[in-house]
Structure 1
């Protein structure tokens, strides 16, 4: 049975890394001693080692050990051995490029579908859906494919921002961009705001956090909901 937690962000304003999620993560990883961390999104270009150290410090607060996937000579073996998995945020294009280039997308998908607990934040949440096409990130590299894990039946737009009615900015809103996506692709999209996350057990998906999600379905008006209907 799939066990997945997809968060919009790793860090809320004024808090330390993963702080707001730690109470949930203590239960989510209750049967796990070691979490295998996938650091390939590299926020700000930091090293795999520094990113893994940041994650290690956070998980030590709930008595969990962390091992970076980059430390394995064969990262496919690292996936195979994992008790639990966490993919952090950063640049989704870079993350997806690395997962495809290292031939990790399929083994990672199989591992999650087998029931290995999976945590994603931001870019790590983006890759749970069928494609990365609703990311907010800049294309700093060119992945061989935009296809991602498809372990859930919807795409995400993490860090979702509502249009500001008082703004004089005339550029496209997030809602406009997602409508453009739906002219080409019918995959549902969840606009996930900061502080909110989706918890998936088997076929049941539950929104948790402080608010509602913005739900986008092709051919329908977007709507607010605390239910994830997919």
Structure 2
């Protein structure tokens, strides 16, 4: 069996409902599946129930049951039998801290890698598929035990990637400048995933899909634009230098 990943930049696109922009991708990703566990941990604990209810409503057209992982007594045991895990967006630091506390990283990594568990992420949940959260956009409102995440792919993603507005007078760093700083310290490709786009991984195949182009950053290389439909499988084979001891 091969691993099966759907990594969305965002769960909601302007003037569209939650997950509406990725409807066809979800039909393909969920083929044959009838039950999903949803991890709402990027939100505040007080919002877990309402966040899960929003996702349950979004999945109604797909005839699947969505269960909040926060409602089960033993998350690790639940994930040993789960068929699909969806990790939602919010604050990446808060999300990763909770995933570490629940001790679910290894079971998810192992089962996804063996092709036993399908993984879907949006925003912070997409960051979690990377080796580290170091290319998140979020403020570190809490401190995880480390920056090490699921590591389902060998490269990094920057969800919600934004180009600087034309004529902007803002003097702070652009998103591109921040990602180039990351590359100063880590020889790991970064996919700048713009709103409305996603990555679809099936085994050794990786494709850019969705509504917008992506911008890929590599050390000592000019950033390059890739259009929806591009085959990005080469990202899965590149050697990387990532010192996880510094997480």
Aligning the two structures, in what range does the TM-score lie when normalised by the shorter sequence?
A: over 0.9
CA distance in 2, matches of 1:87, 1:173: 27
Match of 2:101 in 1: 101
Tell me what 2:56 maps to.
Answer: 56
After superposition, residues 34-49 of structure 1 pair within 5 angstroms as: 34-42=35-43, 46-49=46-49
Counterparts in 2 of 1:196 and 1:216: CA distance versus 1, 3 Å: same
Is this contact kept in 1: 2:7–2:126, CA < 8 A?
yes
1:114 shift after superposition = 1.8
DSSP-derived class of the 1:169 partner? coil
Partners of 2:127 and 2:136 within 8 A in 1: yes
Gaps of 5+ in 2: 236-247
Q: Distance in 1 between matches of 2:45 and 2:173?
A: 27
Say which is worse superposed, 165-174 or 19-28, in terms of deviation.
Answer: 19-28
> What is aligned with 2:192?
191
Q: Is 1:33 the counterpart of 2:34 in the alignment?
A: yes
Equivalence for 1:141: 142
CA distance in 2, matches of 1:181, 1:215: 13
Residue 121 in 1 paired to residue 153 in 2?
Answer: no
The answer on 1:21 being equivalent to 2:25 is no
Q: Which residue of 2 aligns with 1:92?
A: 92
The Cα shift of 1:45 comes to 6.2
> What RMSD over aligned residues (CA atoms) do the two structures have, in Å?
1.2
2:221 match: secondary structure: coil
User: Which 4+ runs in 1 deviate beyond 3 A?
Assistant: none
- 1:215 and 2:189 matched: no
Q: CA deviation at 1:168?
A: 0.6
By how many angstroms is 1:157 displaced? Answer: 0.4
Aligned residues: 229
Q: Please say if residues 93 and 141 of structure 1, whose CA atoms lie closer than 8 Å, have aligned partners that are also in contact.
A: yes
Aligned partner of 1:68 in structure 2 is: 68
Contact 1:22–1:62, Cα closer than 8 Å, also in 2: no
TM-score, normalised with respect to structure 2: 0.90
Unaligned runs of 5+ in 1: none
Match of 1:173 in 2: 174
CA distance in 1, matches of 2:94, 2:111: 21
TM-score, normalized by length of structure 1?
0.96
CA distance in 1 between counterparts of 2:187 and 2:92 reads 21
